[in-house]
A and B are shown apart, each in its own frame.
Chain A
Amino acid sequence: ETGVTQTPRHLVMGMTNKKSLKCEQHLGHNAMYWYKQSAKKPLELMFVYNFKEQTENNSVPSRFSPECPNSSHLFLHLHTLQPEDSALYLCASSQDAPDYGYTFGSGTRLTVV
């Protein structure tokens, strides 16, 4: 139990589908993050939310749309994805201090067909 729960664990979707990834933490953290992990590449930071406000969008294509309704929940809405978007999507949370370290979820393995 990592304290950060991501659902679903696996997702296969067509390029015309719309789906959402969910992340939930009850650690009392106030910052939440979406990362993309592709084979043989560094982890790519996608979005950062701090106290529910988006503080960073790392040049992510608009087919990825984040939503943070409160400091415990984070969503990533997906539409018209491409095969190269297939990856492991990791959610993380932390306290509002960079030296605190992140708590990661187990990730959602996304396959776009």
Chain B
Amino acid sequence: AQSVTQLDSQVPVFEEAPVELRCNYSSSVSVYLFWYVQYPNQGLQLLLKYLSGSTLVKGINGFEAEFNKSQTSFHLRKPSVHISDTAEYFCAVCGSGTYKYIFGTGTRLKVLA
């Protein structure tokens, strides 16, 4: 079985500052890892995914994430945030050989002017 932990429920950050949203997972099998973003009154949109290969994954809107197998983490980063990045961010894991995604509880990123 897989599980996902997003320790921070809310992260306030000033515009143009860097941000890191944390995600840790547990799994007994190899995994695929994802980050999704949800803007108000919308569904979830795929930001980026790690399947295999390079541990640094780049996604849309200037976001990137690094897969760290030893720390079972997949933290999301952006070097300089914009007001428009204010949204909820979800980390998800899918175990190899399954079709079931497990989502974290989400982190609400609030970018302040």
Contact = CB atoms under 8 A, between A and B. Distances in A.
A56 B101 CA distance: 12
A55 to B, nearest CB: 7
Contacts of B110: none
Interface stretch (A11-19, A69-77, A94-102): A94-102
Interface string B89-113: 0100010101111111110000000
Interface residues of A, number: 24
A99 B51 contact: yes
A102 B101 contact: yes
Contacts, number: 56
B49 A99 contact: yes
A80 interface: no
Interface stretch (B16-24, B36-44, B75-83): B36-44
Contact of A42 (B32, B46, B99, B103): B103
Interface of A: 2, 4, 6, 31, 40-43, 45, 48, 50, 55-56, 90, 92, 98-99, 101-107
23 contacts: A2-B45, A31-B99, A40-B105, A41-B105, A42-B4, A42-B103, A42-B104, A42-B106, A43-B103, A45-B100, A45-B101, A48-B100, A50-B99, A90-B44, A98-B32, A98-B99, A98-B100, A99-B49, A102-B44, A104-B43, A104-B44, A107-B42, A107-B43
